[in-house]
Amino acid sequence: MESFYSPNFNSTKRSKNSIKIIIIHYTGMQSERESIIRLCNPKSKVSSHFLISQNGKVYRLVQDSQIAWHAGKSCWGKYKNLNKSSIGIELVNKGHQFGYTNFRKKQLLSLTKICKNLIKKYKIKKKNIVGHSDIAPLRKIDPGEKFPWENLAKENIGIWHDYKLNLLKKFRKIKISTKQERTKFVRNLNDIGYCCSIKKKSLFIKTVKAFQRRFRRELINGLPDKECLIIAENLSKKAIKNP
Ligand SMILES: [Zn+2]
Q: Tens digits of per-residue pLDDT, 134-171?
A: 999 999 999 999 999 999 999 999 999 999 888 898 88
Query: Ligand 1 centroid to 215 CA: how many Å?
Result: 18
Q: CB atoms < 10 A from the CB of 155, how many? A: 14
pLDDT digits (tens, 9 = 90+) for 99-114: 999 999 999 999 999 9
Q: Which residues contact 40 (CB under 8 A, 6 or more apart)?
A: 4, 5, 6, 7, 8, 47, 61
Q: Name the DSSP class of 58.
A: E
Q: How many Cα atoms within 13 Å fall on the side-chain side of residue 137?
A: 27
Which protein residues have their CB within 5 A of the ion that is ligand 1? Answer: 25, 132, 142
Query: Ligand 1 centroid to 178 CA: how many Å?
Result: 35
Phi, psi of 51 (to 5 degrees): -130, 135
Per-residue confidence (pLDDT) for residue 143, from 0 to 100: 98
Q: Which residues are catalytic?
A: 90
CA-nearest of 110, 115, 119, 71 to 92 is 110
Higher pLDDT, 240 or 87: 87
How big is the chain, counted in residues? 243
Residues 75-92, mean pLDDT to the nearest whole number: 97
Query: Ligand 1 centroid to 115 CA: how many Å?
Result: 17
